[in-house]
A and B are shown apart, each in its own frame.
Chain A
């Protein structure tokens, strides 16, 4: 398996624009997580899915953030409209029962 695949690796966008981050988890994993990493707050769990169903989105900072998992092999995290304070590295991770495997992350810069 190629591991967790995220795209894009880097995204620079203007404030107010819509941003969509994509994730392909490891085949067979039934948990998918979206994390945000910043210097100030460290690694924050934004939302997680179990068997494609969103279980807990209490970490999503605002209504501007939304996430979907239409099938077992694909998930998106959308920010609309984006703001400069959303600049961070966004990680997707998946697991079955043990350690979480992370994607390479998407470095988002909102100017």
Chain B
């Protein structure tokens, strides 16, 4: 079974600084995908970035980058130049083979609350 672990319940960062949100995963499948979502106080789940298990390079999307270390089974999200609007919950998720056999079933971590200070 696949498992996602986010060990940081809360993080604080100064505006304009970079911050790293940790995510480790566990799976026995060779093919999987890793995602990060942002959930602001308004409640919607916003997709941020995706990394495939066979991708050679770390994924980047604007100020977001995913530090993918396959051997360590970690997929940390790095937010550069933090902005006040980055304050939100951040969820790491993994798509892999579910216990039911389905291949595209996201499993989510418990999330990390990020607060950006001015």
Q: Which residues of A contact B (CB under 8 A)?
A: 31, 33, 35, 42-43, 45, 48, 50, 55-56, 58, 89, 91, 93, 95-102, 104-105, 107
Contact = CB atoms under 8 A, between A and B. Distances in A.
Interface of B: 33, 35, 37, 43-45, 47, 50, 91, 93, 95, 98-102, 104-111
Nearest to A107: B43
27 contacts: A31-B102, A31-B104, A33-B105, A42-B108, A42-B110, A42-B111, A45-B105, A45-B107, A48-B100, A48-B102, A48-B105, A55-B100, A56-B98, A56-B99, A56-B105, A58-B100, A93-B106, A95-B104, A98-B104, A99-B33, A99-B95, A100-B104, A102-B37, A102-B44, A104-B44, A105-B44, A105-B45
B111 to A, nearest CB: 7
Given A96-B104, A102-B45, 17 more contacts: A31-B104, A42-B109, A42-B111, A43-B111, A55-B101, A56-B100, A58-B99, A95-B104, A97-B104, A98-B33, A99-B33, A99-B35, A99-B95, A100-B35, A100-B104, A100-B106, A104-B44
B50 A50 contact: no
A18 B44 CA distance: 25
A98 B50 contact: yes
Interface of A is mostly: strand
A56 B107 contact: no
B2 to A, nearest CB: 11
